[in-house]
Amino acid sequence: MKLTKLMTGLAAGAMMLSLAACGKKTAANDDTVKIGILQLIDQSALNAARKGFTEELAAQGYKGDKVKIDYVNAQGDQANLKSMSEQLKRDGNDLNLAIATPAAQALQKEDSETPMLFTAVTDAKAAGLTTNLKAPDKNVTGVTDAVDVKAQIDFTHKLFPQAKKIGLLYNAAEENSVVQIQQAKAEIKKLGLTAVVKTAATTNDVQQAAEALAGQAEIIYIPTDNVAAAAMPTIGKVSEAKKVPVINADATMIKPAGVATTGINYEDLGRQTAKLAIKILKGEKVKDLAVEAPAKTSLVTNAKRMKLFNLTQAQVEEAAK
């Protein structure tokens, strides 16, 4: 009888130890950082931002068994954004990254506890991600992709001074795009020119909107808009067929459609965001890390389209000054 009780006690003790072990990370797992990434849609600029982010992490030693990346892509679907945000919250990551404004808004709504970074967001305050860019107050910080829209419209005007009408194409449901279009319209009016505006809610709407603009404007300006970016090859085909030049805010989008831009490189943006991530992983508080603007912009050109619209490299460089 005593032996039976002893064996029962030992078995119970072993079970308790086993359960405790299951609830506790091993030494190896203690060294593994878990990072969730929620991306709005599969398009080259956002892909480049994610690539820069993960490459910079790896360069700083967060690679192999040192990091576990939990990557999900909503493919532009609002229901996916919600469910994937809930999933990342359940996963208990050390840090989450949202790529693009709708992704950041969805993730913030579902999870206010996990430290969160954003990238490829134009206006963090307008998006409701923080009320204070210098001292973030909602456990969210990051790097914006805000470009100098005024400077880009001026650049466009210098390249094509004869143009009187500038077309603007964007998705009216994207807060970041709305902000940029408002700035563009103000500068176009200031220059004494006319803005022609068309919206595209999905990539399926882009061709019709681009063709309409090509028939009504002499140039098309594309802000850092996710729907337009995902359909940039379509815009490029319309530009070439209708002989209407395109100026992009996003340097990543020049190859499929644009003539030139003084814009940002999204891989660089991702790397810049990764440096903030590393600070958080090393113990710094989100509230102490100010929202950052892009560290640099650069002149990017498309030789093929410059030739199509009779522009030289010297002319483009002069307009960018």
pLDDT tens, per residue, the chain with 321 residues: 444 444 444 444 444 444 444 433 433 346 899 999 999 999 989 999 999 999 999 999 999 999 999 999 999 999 999 999 999 999 999 999 999 999 999 999 999 999 999 999 999 999 999 999 999 999 999 999 998 999 999 999 999 999 999 999 999 998 889 999 999 999 999 999 999 999 999 999 999 999 999 999 999 999 999 999 999 999 999 999 999 999 999 888 899 999 999 888 899 999 999 999 999 999 999 999 999 999 988 899 999 999 999 999 999 999 999
Identify whether 162 is part of a domain.
Answer: yes
Which strand (E) or helix (H) includes residue 12?
helix 2-22
Does residue 228 belong to any structural domain of this protein? Answer: yes
The verdict on 66 and 176 lying in the same domain is no
- Cα dist. 233→120, 169, 198, 226 in Å? 20, 14, 18, 13
Say yes or no: 245 and 162 in one domain: yes
Residues 140 and 160 in one domain: no
**Strand, coil or helix: 24:** coil
- 129 within some domain: yes
Same domain, 243 and 171: yes
Tokens 């967060």 belong to which residue?
Answer: 62
pLDDT at site 252:
82
Residue 62 lies in a domain: yes
**Residue 131 belongs to some domain of the structure:** yes
For residue 236, give the CATH number of its domain.
Answer: 3.40.50.2300
Determine how many CB atoms are found less than 10 A away from the CB of residue 137.
Answer: 12
- What CA dihedral angle connects 182, 231, 315 and 301, to 10 degrees? 120
Q: Which residue has the tokens 């805010």?
A: 249
Whether 217 and 170 map to the same domain: the answer is yes
Q: Which residues pair with 39 in a beta bridge?
A: 73, 99
Query: Which neighbouring-strand residues pair with 110?
Result: none
| 252 and 116 co-located in one domain | no
Q: Are residues 189 and 227 in the same domain?
A: yes
Structural contact between residues 218 and 164, judged by C-beta atoms closer than 8 angstroms: yes
Same-domain status, 238 and 114:
no
List the domain range (segments joined by +) for residue 48: 28-145+266-288
Place of tokens 């996003």: 250
> Same domain for 112 and 226?
no
Burial of 212 (0-12, 13-18, 19+ CB in 10 A): middle
Which of 234, 174, 205, 146 lies closest to 41 in space, CA to CA?
A: 174
Q: What is the pLDDT at residue 250? A: 86
Residue 155 shares a structural domain with residue 140: no
Are 274 and 256 found together in one domain? Answer: no
Q: Which residue has the tokens 């999204």?
A: 266
**Strand ranges, E, within 59-110:** 67-73, 95-99
> With the CA atoms of 156, 162, 164 and 169 taken in that order, what torsion angle do they form, in degrees rounded to the nearest 10?
-40
Task: Name the 3-class secondary structure at 207.
Answer: helix
**Domain-located, residue 21:** no
Q: Is residue 67 part of a domain?
A: yes
pLDDT of residue 2: 43
Non-local (6+) Cβ contacts of 224 within 8 A are 45, 120, 122, 145, 147, 176, 177, 180, 249, 250
Same domain (yes/no): 81, 161: no
Whether pTM > 0.85 for this model: the answer is no
Say if 293 falls within a structural domain: no
How many structural domains does the chain have? Answer: 2
